[in-house]
Amino acid sequence: MTYAFQAEGLVKRFGATTALAGIDLAARAGTVLGVLGPNGAGKTTAVRILATLLRADEGRATVGGYDVVRDAAKVRRLIGLTGQYASVDEDLTGQQNLELIGSLLDLRRKDSRSRAKELLEQFGLAEAGGRAAKTYSGGMRRRLDLAASLVGRPSVIYLDEPTTGLDPVKREDVWNMVRSLLDSGVTVLLTTQYLDEADALADEISVIDHGSVIAHGTPAELKHKVGGQTIVVRPSDPGRLDEVDRLLRETTGHETESSGRGVLTAPADDDRVFTTLVRRLDEAGIGVIELSLRLPSLDEVFFTLTGAPVPHQNAHDSLEMAV
């Protein structure tokens, strides 16, 4: 197995706060590593170390075989960084933003102009390319930011919470863009607070909490570990809710819960539960207007892995943002 980047035993302290307590992260070339954790878990700190913006107190990290401290200049030629807060220049147009990055990456003027055009088109910003970025919507800024991190055709891309604060449609947009990146063979480090995002994009997931990895695996392994997918059923005829309730109890072997008017949910810890339920509903001639398998939320994952609810440490959050 060959890793595109690898971090071993990273420790980072800010005063009395330990942001990273000896973390290991690695991704095979051409894959997506999802780093899942709540605010203040150390995700951004880890990304900043791998992006040469911050030095670890202990441990080492390499990107593309180059040490992030000793060969920082080489590492910077390999990476693209998209921060948590869209880091584009508000006063510059989309085109100017991308051309600036191009000239800083030593592209020739003609190449940086055409690369900017190409990226604006790819990210649906061709028409807005001549307008100052401050006139862009939140989603457009994220796209421009993502485009800016791709100007130099990096081999390793860090996406630090690329969808935080975006509405569901825009999130889907960003997801599709990330998927299209993968076709070009890049390696991606994606940090996120959403299990569904990691599940949708990552090949492997490291769950981190308080600066340590508390679980690692493929999305399937992780889901298996935390169990607790939930079946959600909403029959089209609310009058048949009782029948659905009985079917759901029989197939899952669990008590059902009603999470809203006309909706029933039950835990599904067997791979075949869902298909069995579909068949039984069909046999009974019950139509549904909603039928889904819901992944556990981050809160539920954490509860299962740590036995404690997601920590809410506001002081820690603001520290991480300030650094």
Partner 1 sequence: MTTITLDVPAGRPFGLLRHSLALGKRSLIKTLRTPEQLLDVTLQPVIFILVFVYLLGGAIAGSTHAYLQFLLPAITVQTLMFASMATGTNLNSDVKKGVFDRFRSLPISRAAPLVGAVFGDLIRFVVSITVSFGFGLIMGFRFQTNPVEVIGAILLMLFFAFSLSWIFVLVGVLVREPGAVQGIGFVTLFPLTFGTNMMVKTDTLPSWLQAWVKINPVTDVMASVRALTLGDGPIAGPVTHTLLVSAGILVVFAPLAVRAYRRRA
Q: Toward partner 1, which CB reaches closer, 38 or 102?
A: 102
Q: How far, in Å, CA of 122 to CA of 266, rounded?
A: 42
Angle in degrees, 0-180, between the axes of helices 94-104 and 109-122, rounded to the nearest 10: 130
* From candidates 39, 45, 62, 252, binder to partner 1 by CB under 8 A: 62
Q: Are 5 and 65 in contact (CB under 8 A)?
A: no
Q: Does 113 bind partner 1 (CB under 8 A)?
A: no
Q: Toward partner 1, which CB reaches closer, 142 or 234?
A: 142
In whole angstroms, the minimum distance from the beta carbon of 139 to partner 1 comes to: 17
Residue 169: strand, helix, or coil: helix
In whole angstroms, the minimum distance from the beta carbon of 93 to partner 1 comes to: 9
Q: How far, in Å, CA of 63 to CA of 52, rounded?
A: 10
Provide the sign of the torsion angle of the four alpha carbons 40, 41, 45, 51, taken in this order. Answer: negative
* From candidates 69, 126, 132, 232, binder to partner 1 by CB under 8 A: 132
Stretch that binds partner 1, among 63-71, 189-197, 262-270, 291-299 (CB under 8 A): 63-71
**Placement of tokens 């072997």 in the chain:** 253
Residue 259's Cβ-count burial label (10 Å; 0-12, 13-18, 19+) is: exposed
Q: Are 48 and 54 in contact (CB under 8 A)?
A: yes
* From candidates 9, 18, 24, 53, binder to partner 1 by CB under 8 A: 53
Q: Does 152 bind partner 1 (CB under 8 A)?
A: yes
In whole angstroms, the minimum distance from the beta carbon of 9 to partner 1 comes to: 15
Q: How far, in Å, CA of 47 to CA of 5, rounded?
A: 11
* From candidates 46, 49, 51, 125, binder to partner 1 by CB under 8 A: 51
Q: Toward partner 1, which CB reaches closer, 149 or 206?
A: 149
Q: Which is nearest to 194 in space by CA: 305, 33, 38, 43? A: 38
* From candidates 45, 52, 163, 251, binder to partner 1 by CB under 8 A: 52
Q: Does 212 bind partner 1 (CB under 8 A)?
A: no
DSSP track, 230-251: EEEEEESSGGGHHHHHHHHHHH
Total of residues contacting partner 1 (CB under 8 A): 43
In whole angstroms, the minimum distance from the beta carbon of 90 to partner 1 comes to: 8
Contacts of 284 (CB under 8 A, 6+ apart): 243, 247
Q: Toward partner 1, which CB reaches closer, 89 or 317?
A: 89
Q: Toward partner 1, which CB reaches closer, 23 or 310?
A: 23
Stretch that binds partner 1, among 58-66, 241-249, 283-291, 301-309 (CB under 8 A): 58-66
In whole angstroms, the minimum distance from the beta carbon of 166 to partner 1 comes to: 16
Sheet of strand 257-260: strand arrangement: 257-260, 263-268, 229-235, 288-294
Q: Kindly identify the residues of this chain, within the stretch 70-109, that bind partner 1 according to CB under 8 A.
A: 73-74, 76-79, 81, 83, 85-89, 91-92, 96, 100-101, 103-106
Q: How many CB atoms sit inside 10 A of residue 206's CB?
A: 27
**Footprint of partner 1 (CB under 8 A):** 1-6, 29, 51-53, 62-66, 73-74, 76-79, 81, 83, 85-89, 91-92, 96, 100-101, 103-106, 132, 148-149, 152, 155-156
